[in-house]
């Protein structure tokens, strides 16, 4: 089974349960913490992928980890189920699918915004307002810093890219200067 299919099925199940209990925001934050922890640890990634670890050993380690993270029973049971079924290696994809579905339910859309330096709150609010007018949805900004864009903003929203970077403008100017005059 493909990772995207697995992620979709598991994320739908946990989102439905979290929504029924009106805990979808909390569960999302808890899943983020767990996914971040796995992404940053070679040992945890090996635990989730390496077949030489017995399921009972995996469950014991993950259970202790979840106690330390102090997650809700829904999150704990869900992550333990992933561990038992050998699906823990897909935690990042499952969490991303969870957020996509939760955003769709709430009428939100995520915008991945690339900037040279982190935006001040006023700048972020202005950009959020512009993107909300363009999409007709509530926008959640996720900032990424990349000095190579030189200046401006590159926004990825719902499969579309709006490139207002200085780098893109310079590339466009370079292309126009190289082409023969009409």
What's the pLDDT at 166?
A: 87
Q: Are 75 and 28 in contact (CB under 8 A)?
A: no
What's the pLDDT at 165?
A: 87
Domains of the chain: 3-103 (1.10.520.20), 107-178 (3.40.30)
Q: Given a cut of 90, is residue 164 above it in pLDDT?
A: no
Q: Across residues 88-116, what is the average pLDDT?
A: 93
What's the pLDDT at 51?
A: 85
Compute CA distances 162 → 124, 153, 154, whole Å.
16, 8, 6
Q: Are 78 and 63 in contact (CB under 8 A)?
A: no
User: In 3-state terms, what secondary structure has residue 21?
Assistant: coil
For residues 38 and 42, what is the distance between their CA atoms, to the nearest angstrom?
A: 8
149 conformational bin, left if phi > 0, alpha if psi -120 to 50, beta if neither: alpha
């Amino acid at each position: 089974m493909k990772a995207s299919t697995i992620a979709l099925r598991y994320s739908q199940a946990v989102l439905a349960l979290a929504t029924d209990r009106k805990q979808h925001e909390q569960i999302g934050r808890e899943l983020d913490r767990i996914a971040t922890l796995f992404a940053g640890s070679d040992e945890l990634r090996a635990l989730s992928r390496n077949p030489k670890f017995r399921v009972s050993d995996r469950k014991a380690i993950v259970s202790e980890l979840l106690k330390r993270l102090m997650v809700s029973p829904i999150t704990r049971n869900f992550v333990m189920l992933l561990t038992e079924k050998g699906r823990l290696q897909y935690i990042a994809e499952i969490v991303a699918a969870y957020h996509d579905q939760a955003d769709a339910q709430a009428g939100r859309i995520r915008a991945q915004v690339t900037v040279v330096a982190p935006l001040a709150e006023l700048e972020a609010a202005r950009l959020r307002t512009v993107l909300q007018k363009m999409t007709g949805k509530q926008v959640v900004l996720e900032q990424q810093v990349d000095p190579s864009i030189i200046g401006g903003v590159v926004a990825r929203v719902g499969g579309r890219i709006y490139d207002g970077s200085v780098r893109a403008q310079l590339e466009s100017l370079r292309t126009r200067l190289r082409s023969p005059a009409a």
